[in-house]
Amino acid sequence: METPIRIIGIDPGLRRTGWGIVETIGNSLRFVASGTITSDAKYDLASRLCQLHEGLTGIVHAHKPDEAAVEQTFVNKDAVATLKLGQARGIALLVPALAGLPVAEYAPNAVKKAVIGVGHGEKKQIHMMVKVLMPKATFDTDDAADALAIAICHTHHRQSAQARAAFAGR
């Protein structure tokens, strides 16, 4: 009997970081939990990053995922906003890495393609497909739904990545 693999998907953001946890056994997929970590815009950047770090650390400790997947950042026209997003993304990569988890990264188009079948789609389509794939899934924000989509994307790609790594090791 196969052991379930618990995956946390993380959609990084300075204001809101979405997280979603799924379990996969073979081809089956099960919703575990999802939510959103927020930082207080009244605080300075360092304090906001601490809020994200503390929140995400609590989620990782509470749900004990085996692997993590984080969405890659796209570059905005606003360089300052892009830099802040990159710093929040650093927290999203650091927390699972400090917990000893392997961390995969996926471009937004790869996530959309894995979940809805095409690389360009609307948020509504992603939310609908997350509910189709996991009818018991609940999410409080778009960020949490996106995080579940990132975790789903990782379930699709992790087996091929493991096969490539095993083949390369021969």
Catalytic residues: 11, 71, 143
> C-alpha angle with apex 124: 118 to 32, nearest 5 degrees?
90
Question: Among residues 157, 65, 166, 142, which one has the least CA distance to residue 107?
Answer: 157
The CA-atom distances, in angstroms, between 55 and each of 10, 51, 73, 91, 150 are 12, 6, 20, 10, 19
DSSP reduced 3-state for 46:
helix
Best CA proximity match to 119, nearest among 130, 106, 100: 106
Residue 156: Cβ-neighbour burial (10 angstroms; 0-12, 13-18, 19+): middle
Dihedral of CA 151/141/127/137: which sign? positive
